[in-house]
Chain A
Amino acid sequence: EAQVTQNPRYLITVTGKKLTVTCSQNMNHEYMSWYRQDPGLGLRQIYYSMNVEVTDKGDVPEGYKVSRKEKRNFPLILESPSPNQTSLYFCASSRKTDRGRPSGANVLTFGAGSRLTVL
């Protein structure tokens, strides 16, 4: 089954304790992205990656790191989590067309989400 898998689904941690949320897709997608979802704010993009070893900042990158060493994996790293990073996190992926971008749109397949609480 084609899917985006995130782990953990739920995590409660304390301020300053480094954590990693993993994301893996089995669709051979070039593009991957991380979002956080907060009430009243919708989904905000944290980081995205066009391909292996190519990453770029989204709208809210502060406090986060990412890496893309393999095509299928795109982990989100919180080096020193703070309470304002308590949120619901989503990983998503999409493919590129032969022309280098999807015909008309960047169509995303989302993971099921990871709910993170930082105390």
Chain B
Amino acid sequence: TQLLEQSPQFLSIQEGENLTVYCNSSSVFSSLQWYRQEPGEGPVLLVTVVTGGEVKKLKRLTFQFGDARKDSSLHITAAQPGDTGLYLCAGERSWGKLQFGAGTQVVVTP
């Protein structure tokens, strides 16, 4: 059973378009992280959100943590081919135990 549901599983868009990836759970997390993974590499942390309702921006990426700390979203504005990758959300249930979603594969074509 996947405690963290990511949607969509796959997203293919043209350069310049916007996209949103969702991460939902019925559980409350103390924090939630977003990672990006490229082929042949390990996931790399993009951002951590801790407070319910928190919004963080990282250049063209906007991350939001739900008020109840059960869900999160990642929005990319004006996507570029370099944004292509597998996006993973991970919720911290307790110190030491991270629960990952299955990931959203994003493909941005020129």
Residues of chain A whose beta carbon lies under 8 Å from any beta carbon of chain B: 4, 31, 33, 35, 40-45, 48, 50, 56, 58-59, 90, 92, 101, 104-113
Contact = CB atoms under 8 A, between A and B. Distances in A.
B50 A92 contact: no
Contacts of B63: none
Contacts of B42: 4, 90, 92, 110-113
Interface residues of B, number: 27
B50 A110 contact: no
A25 B37 CA distance: 19
B1 to A, nearest CB: 10
A105 B72 CA distance: 15
A110 B41 CA distance: 9
A106 B43 contact: no
A107 B41 contact: no
Nearest to A113: B42
Nearest to A4: B42
B28 interface: no
Nearest to A102: B95
A105 B97 contact: no
A50 B96 contact: yes
A48 B102 contact: no
B100 A101 contact: no
Given A105-B33, A106-B95, 12 more contacts: A31-B96, A42-B4, A42-B100, A43-B100, A58-B97, A104-B30, A104-B31, A106-B31, A106-B96, A107-B33, A108-B43, A110-B44
Contacts of A105: 30-31, 33, 48, 50, 92
A112 B88 contact: no
A57 to B, nearest CB: 10
A67 to B, nearest CB: 17
